[in-house]
Amino acid sequence: MARPAVSTPAAPLTSEENARAEAVLGRLQLLVTRKLDGLLQGDYAGLLPGPGTEAGESREYRPGDDVRRMDWPVTARTTLPHVRQTVADRELETWLAVDLSASLDFGTARWLKRDLVIAAATAIAHLTVRGGNRIGAVVGTGSGVPGRDLTGSWWRRKAATVPDPHAASPVVRLPARPGRKEAQGLLRAIARTRIRPGRTDLGALIDMLNRPPRRRGVAVVISDFLAPVESWARPVRKLGVRHDVLAIEVVDPRELELPDVGVLTLADPESGFLHEVQTSDPKLRQRYAEAAGEQRAAIARTLRAAGAAHLRLRTDTDWLLDMVRFVAAQRHARTRGTTR
């Protein structure tokens, strides 16, 4: 699989686009700070929290404790059962693989899908950047060339197949650094990334988190996962061997079902193709819903087989409440010693 080049962020946004990015980011940070700080207090605020790996003090066994943490030497000395407490590693390294393909620049409800991507990244940064923890990211967008051959005049086909030598790379690597100020800069860089035509090679983007090899940490993949499953399934499995993997799937309701609005003209944001659909046909809407359901089920099965935690955020629901419930469920599952 060819790996895309790494470069600096794409061309600067206009002042209007910058203002919108700053406004969205500021509003999201305020929401995250208010709600997550109040609902997810704890000794360790990692997104996939666990009991830790460093040995701590021992205490007497209580019903419900994990017997795998029994401290047998202390139990033998005191003749009372004791368990060994563990301390969470304070130097967690979190990496984000952020997909900003053209398909993310879409939304028919309360949010655009790209806004949810930025929202998810903001929440993750808030949850993980504490106590010297580091966070970095690789951000992928389209290559600037439509993903499929265009029909039309000769000059249009030629322009679509000849890459622009002055165009920025479709992938931006933001190094992992500690501190809230650095995390703010990372989020700002993500929010200001210009979405271009074409599709990100999601498999190659995820594989960038595998190279170079890093210490065990948290890897978060944020995407709509509309790329063919076989193109990214193996990199996700490989990533899960060493890291705790969280896959955040961003979905718009129109990707799951079509409304009955008569003739609807649809535009493929990645190729520019236009297609007219007669949505008044109930059989067509049923086939569309069934195909969309099968696609999402295949995504969920692949992520589950890779051992990744799976969070689905929709543009028509309260994404922050969904994230709070997810993190709370992860805490509960880890405390009880169950798998996610």
Predicted pLDDT of residue 235:
94
Q: Is the dihedral of CA 40, 45, 51, 56 positive or negative?
A: negative
| Averaged pLDDT in 10-residue chunks for the chain of 340 residues | 41 58 58 52 45 66 85 90 71 88 86 89 83 87 59 39 49 87 90 83 90 82 93 93 91 89 78 80 91 94 93 89 80 58
Cα–Cα dist 84/152, whole Å: 70
Looking at the chain, how many residues does it have? 340
b/e for 92-102, b at 16 or more Cβ within 10 A? bbbbbbbbbbb
Q: Is the pTM of this model over 0.85?
A: no
Cα-atom radius of gyration of the chain, to the nearest Å?
22
Average pLDDT, the chain: 77
Predicted pLDDT of residue 212:
78
Predicted pLDDT of residue 199:
80
Predicted pLDDT of residue 166:
41
**Cβ within 8 Å of residue 102, ≥6 positions away:** 141, 142, 195, 196, 197, 198, 199, 269, 270
The pLDDT tens digits of the residues spanning 200-257 come to: 889 999 999 988 777 788 899 999 999 899 999 999 999 998 888 999 999 999 899 8
